[in-house]
Amino acid sequence: MTQQPAIEAAPPLLHLSGLYKSFGTNEILRGIDLEVHAGETVAIIGPSGTGKSTLLRCVNWLEKPSAGEVMLDGVRLRAEMTGKEEQQAIRALRSRVGMVFQQYNLWPHFSVLRNVTEGQVRVLGTDPGEAKAKAREFLARVRMEDFEDRYPSQLSGGQQQRVAIARTLAMGPRLVLFDEVTSALDPELVGEVLETMKQLADDGLTMLVVTHEMGFARRVADRVVFMNGGHIAEQGPAEVVFENPVHDRTRAFFDHVRRSSWTV
């Protein structure tokens, strides 16, 4: 009997089943089924307006799906849930998932160190000394350990985004969602954030990444999910999806990306 790779044998850390999301009469997600295993980096790519960010926001219930369920690390949230039952499940879910946004939203009047300790102390109830030690550990992982006394306005966009990543990691999530985290950055700062994310992927962090950075999806993601019109049109190992896309829409998307890329 052939041995299955360990990553496939374990149950998925995240399991999305039959997710639908409508805004009014506008149906954005149309039945999403997706699994992410511990240690995987999964990139979600696809045309603009196809529902990638909405999907990510449904994973941590920032948007409540119209139907379907999210199962993360043993916590199940169903669209039918309401009231106390839903609130309890949301709290459990959010303690296991972190999110990094396009806008880093650091507290402007707090130092870098305090930005990374505040959530630990206030939300997790961590002892302040312990929270500082953990903050320093995560600032070092994003190579921002020399900036702990600075304020956000004294940092570049890329540095602020790395602090935002450290702040998320310090909360101890099992899964981190990245929503187009380089889109607001000047081109010369994109690389340093992607390099940090590559390092985290290499270290085994479980990441679900919505991105327009095709180079990142191709070189760093274990699996690429191509979304179109609120569906997953195809998914597979990055090299397969990029080199042999089976769906016409995926091929057309890559052709469009290649044609519209400006080279220096």
Ligand X SMILES: Nc1ncnc2c1ncn2[C@@H]1O[C@H](COP(=O)(O)OP(=O)(O)OP(=O)(O)O)[C@@H](O)[C@H]1O
Bridge-based pairing state of the strands 175-179 and 207-210: parallel
Tell me how crowded residue 259 is: count the other CB atoms within 10 A of its CB. Answer: 7
**Please, what is the minimum distance in Å from the beta carbon of residue 54 to ligand X?**
3
Is 114 one of the binding residues for ligand X (CB under 6 A)? no
- 256 CB-contact burial (10 Å; exposed 0-12 / middle 13-18 / buried 19+): exposed
Alpha helices in 60-185 (DSSP H): 83-94, 112-119, 128-141, 157-169
Q: Which residues 6+ apart lie within 8 Å of 133 measured at CB?
A: none
Is 250 one of the binding residues for ligand X (CB under 6 A)? no
**Please, what is the minimum distance in Å from the beta carbon of residue 28 to ligand X?**
4
Comparing CB distances to ligand X, the nearer of 49 and 215 is 49
Comparing CB distances to ligand X, the nearer of 3 and 48 is 48
Is 23 one of the binding residues for ligand X (CB under 6 A)? yes
Q: Is 70 helix (H, G, I), strand (E, B) or coil?
A: strand
Q: Nearest 5 degrees, angle CA 177-CA 181-CA 185?
A: 175
Is 260 one of the binding residues for ligand X (CB under 6 A)? no
DSSP at 147 = G
**Please, what is the minimum distance in Å from the beta carbon of residue 216 to ligand X?**
15
Is 25 one of the binding residues for ligand X (CB under 6 A)? no
Residue 96 Cα to chain centre, angstroms: 13
Comparing CB distances to ligand X, the nearer of 57 and 134 is 57
Give the span between the Cα atoms of 33 and 240, in whole angstroms: 20
Size of the site for ligand X (CB under 6 A): 9
Comparing CB distances to ligand X, the nearer of 52 and 223 is 52
**Please, what is the minimum distance in Å from the beta carbon of residue 40 to ligand X?**
21
Comparing CB distances to ligand X, the nearer of 52 and 141 is 52
Supply 114's token pair. 């305090």
**Please, what is the minimum distance in Å from the beta carbon of residue 55 to ligand X?**
7
Which amino acid, one-letter code, is at 184?
A
Angle between helices 157-169 and 112-119 (to 10 degrees): 30
Give the span between the Cα atoms of 253 and 242, in whole angstroms: 11
Question: x/- string (CB under 6 A) for ligand X, residues 44-83?
Answer: ----xxxxxxx-----------------------------
**Please, what is the minimum distance in Å from the beta carbon of residue 240 to ligand X?**
22
Comparing CB distances to ligand X, the nearer of 53 and 160 is 53
**Please, what is the minimum distance in Å from the beta carbon of residue 210 to ligand X?**
6
Is 256 one of the binding residues for ligand X (CB under 6 A)? no
Comparing CB distances to ligand X, the nearer of 143 and 249 is 249
H or E stretch including 187?
helix 187-202
Q: Which residues of this chain interact with ligand X, rule CB under 6 A?
A: 23, 28, 48-54
